[in-house]
Amino acid sequence: MKHIDEYRNGALARDMAAQIAHNAATGRHYQFMEFCGGHTHAISRYGIEDLLPANVQMVHGPGCPVCVLPAGRIDDAIKLAMRPEVTLCTYADVMRVPASGGATLLRASAAGADIRMVYSTLDALRIAESEPNREIVFLAIGFETTTPPTALAIRAARRQGLRNFSVFCNHVLTPPAIRAILESPPGPNGVEIRVDGFIGPAHVSTVTGTRPYDGLAAEFKKPVVVAGFEPLDVVHAILMLVHQINEDRHDVENQYTRFVTAEGNRIAQQEMAEVFEHRPSFEWRGLGELPLSALRLRTEYAEFDAEYRFGITTIPAADNPACECGTILRGLKKPAECKLFGTLCSPETPMGSCMVSPEGACAAHWTYGRFRDRQGRRQKEGTSF
């Protein structure tokens, strides 16, 4: 528990927040985006925005893998799972992500599809070993953090001669999403996204290192600070970003030095490169089609590719038109600005993907932030109830 105590020390956080307030007292406004859902969760859970001065604000980014999975891909997963010979293995959160027409994997399971919740790719591999007469399909999602384990499972399946294991691959990449945010067109009513700097991904960067952000920081003149997911990591990263802006710098800095290096994990990178290649284009929920932003299995591994094996062709599907996930994932709106937030949409009845995973901006705000909204409203209205 020693580390958790240290990285969640309230007195140190307040001290650092005072430094942010001192350094940000320059008559300017600072707006930073935390890319990762893990950071979004930490910011909501620990009330980090409450510690910041009014001229330092955070906007949420698209780094929650469950949130950016488009409805059309969930439709594909449901179709796969409904095949009588298939057992679809997936993480719990994905079960509740809305597909088209309000369908979910959870509902498909209730309707008789064989869908099993797993904690890792290796769980799916074990099911394939023990049930050779079933077609075991692993629904793979996630950024560069979860891609190496998928690659390892595919290589293990080949070594073991497993003929009933395949992967429905939805792995996506971080740098193209950051680029998409920076090149994003204005949102509703012509509102433009303004991001002065990024808190860069934590776990992703343990695999990729910090190098992939160098080009983006230089091209768009935006500082990036890679930071851990503990509250002090996040507050420290904000302070580092404020310093960079004040000094007119746009460097890539590493706050998460206890795990991240510039080069990253070379072995994990090699495993990924051995099994996967870039897709020409991939749809992200909220961001649309992004070139070279996702991975697919190389043809050498086609026998483990569920898309190839089951002839999947994704048909894009529209989201619920009242759901604001798209604008929230681009940092243009906050969860409480969605009309459905807390009324028709809650973690019990998610209408959009951002309300599903604890890393989703809407779910995090529902769990930790909605009470603060109420408190702020009461203070404004001068009421005490």
Q: Which residues of 315-348 are buried (b: 16+ CB within 10 A; e: fewer)?
A: eebebbeebbbbbbbbbbbbbeebebbbeebbee
Contact 4, 225 (CB under 8 A): no
Closer CB to ligand SF4, 240 or 356, in the complex: 356
Closer CB to ligand SF4, 20 or 97, in the complex: 97
Closer CB to ligand SF4, 165 or 341, in the complex: 341
Q: Give the distance, in angstroms, between the CA of residue 126 and the centroid of all CA atoms in the same chain.
A: 27
Minimum distance between the CB of residue 145 and ligand SF4, rounded to whole angstroms?
23
Of 159, 153, 158, the C-alpha closest to 126 is: 153
SS3 107: helix
Closer CB to ligand SF4, 228 or 331, in the complex: 331
Closer CB to ligand SF4, 191 or 218, in the complex: 191
Facing residues of 165 across strands?
A: 136
SS3 54: coil
Minimum distance between the CB of residue 219 and ligand SF4, rounded to whole angstroms?
30
Minimum distance between the CB of residue 333 and ligand SF4, rounded to whole angstroms?
8
Residues binding ligand SF4 (CB under 6 A): 323-325, 328, 335, 338, 340-341, 345, 350-352, 354-355, 362
Q: Which helix (H) or strand (E) holds 199?
A: strand 197-200
Residue nearest to ligand SF4 (CB): 352
Closer CB to ligand SF4, 197 or 369, in the complex: 369
Minimum distance between the CB of residue 21 and ligand SF4, rounded to whole angstroms?
31
CA 211 to each of CA 36, 65, 218, 264: distance values in angstroms, whole numbers, following the listed order = 17, 21, 12, 8
Minimum distance between the CB of residue 338 and ligand SF4, rounded to whole angstroms?
3
Kindly give, in sequence order, each residue whose CB lies less than 8 Å from that of residue 243, ignoring residues fewer than 6 positions away: 23
Minimum distance between the CB of residue 5 and ligand SF4, rounded to whole angstroms?
34
Minimum distance between the CB of residue 43 and ligand SF4, rounded to whole angstroms?
16
Q: Which residues of 34-48 are buried (b: 16+ CB within 10 A; e: fewer)?
A: bbbbbbbbbbbebeb
Amino acid occupying residue 116: R
Closer CB to ligand SF4, 161 or 321, in the complex: 321
